[in-house]
Structure 1
Amino acid sequence: MEEFLIVDGYNIIGAWPELSKLKDTDLEGARDKLIHMLSEYQSFSGMKVYLVFDAYMVPGLGKKYVQSKLSVLYTKEKETADELIERLVTNLMGRRKQIHVATSDMIEQHVIFGKGALRLPAGELWVKINQSRKEVRARIQPEKSSKKNPFDDKIKGDVRDIFERWRRGQ
């Protein structure tokens, strides 16, 4: 089954304390940090992630680009992020496809749920991303051994005894 995650960018930035605090002084930095986090999550989860930002008051045709294999979309002039998300859900919907939409906007959650997508509140996405980060760290960091001698179980008993006697000066 093919899985998709559509993220309401500014809604998530406003909902996550770390990004919300950053947006007050550096909105572009908060966007970049979210892009980085979601691209890592996309790599780990195998889901295709679309990150939608609202450019409602910005004139133009909208914009789509790929950064770190993550699709980042800006809305067209006079189009809201919710409208773009709903259109994406409609276009992606199909057999053997599961679509999740990450937003804490309750009205939007009801609308996309009615279209057949699954809702994913901002807090749940935060938990999923942090859990995936922990799993990645656990896979790439070597297991810390509590033994003082990491070679102890790799050598034969008689050789270990000889080394032990040498160590003790016998």
Structure 2
Amino acid sequence: MNILLVDGYNIIGDWDELKALRDTDLAQARQLLIEKMAEYQAYRGYRVIIVFDAYEVKGIESKYKEYNVEVVYTKEKETADQCIERLIKELKNIKTKVYVATSDFAEQQTIFQQGAYRKSARELAIEVNHIQSEIEEELHAFSAQKQARTLPISKDILAEFEKMRRGRK
């Protein structure tokens, strides 16, 4: 199994589309990241966990699932980096590869020391854009294939078939 841990605010602060949205509506930027990671999860089959830093927020850690993506807000006085490091220890084993998406250089060094793999924010953006292109191509091909299966029948004949189907003459 492959797991992708995403440093949510690090990615939001790096991707132009999310960064611009963050400046006007942070909640919307978080939501868009979740949606993009849901597409990634569905296409790649990875378990995706997005970690948002709640270091300055009082309260306990919260977790929920949206679009099959796990979203974690860290507990009080815990940074996203600390939470990610804890999750790596919990999740990494011989059968599981853990990837961490962050552009935080210090965190990347810690990730390597724990045996996880890293994806920079830029690498993840390229991969997400590539996936979106592949999905669009597949949808286009499916649409073209669907159109090719339809028989060119005139409206008059279709109307006659409809009468026959309904038992009318």
What TM-score does the superposition give when structure 1 sets the normalisation length?
A: 0.83
The number of equivalent residue pairs is 147
Partner of 1:66: 65
Alignment of structure 1 residues 83-98 onto 2, 5 Å:
83-98=82-97
1:121 maps to 2:120: yes
Secondary structure at 1:56's aligned position in 2? coil
Deviation at 1:137, TM superposition (A): 1.1
Instruction: Please state which structure has a larger fraction of its residues in helix.
Output: 2
Q: Separation in 1 of the partners of 2:113 and 2:4?
A: 16
Q: Which amino acid aligns with 1:82?
A: D
Alignment of structure 1 residues 153-168 onto 2, 5 Å:
none
Alignment of structure 1 residues 42-53 onto 2, 5 Å:
42-53=41-52
Q: Which amino acid aligns with 1:83?
A: Q
Q: Which amino acid aligns with 1:90?
A: K
Q: Which amino acid aligns with 1:28?
A: A
Alignment of structure 1 residues 4-15 onto 2, 5 Å:
4-15=3-14
Flag the structure with larger Rg: 1
Partner of 1:81: 80
Q: Separation in 2 of the partners of 1:82 and 1:114?
A: 14
Over the matched positions of the two proteins, sequence identity in percent amounts to: 46
Q: Which amino acid aligns with 2:137?
A: A
Q: Mind listing any 5+ residue stretches in structure 2 that lack a counterpart?
A: 151-169
Deviation at 1:136, TM superposition (A): 1.0
What TM-score does the superposition give when structure 2 sets the normalisation length?
A: 0.83
Deviation at 1:142, TM superposition (A): 3.0
Partner of 1:3: 2
Deviation at 1:87, TM superposition (A): 0.4
Q: Mind listing any 5+ residue stretches in structure 1 that lack a counterpart?
A: 152-170
Q: Separation in 1 of the partners of 2:47 and 2:141?
A: 29
Alignment RMSD (CA, Å): 1.7
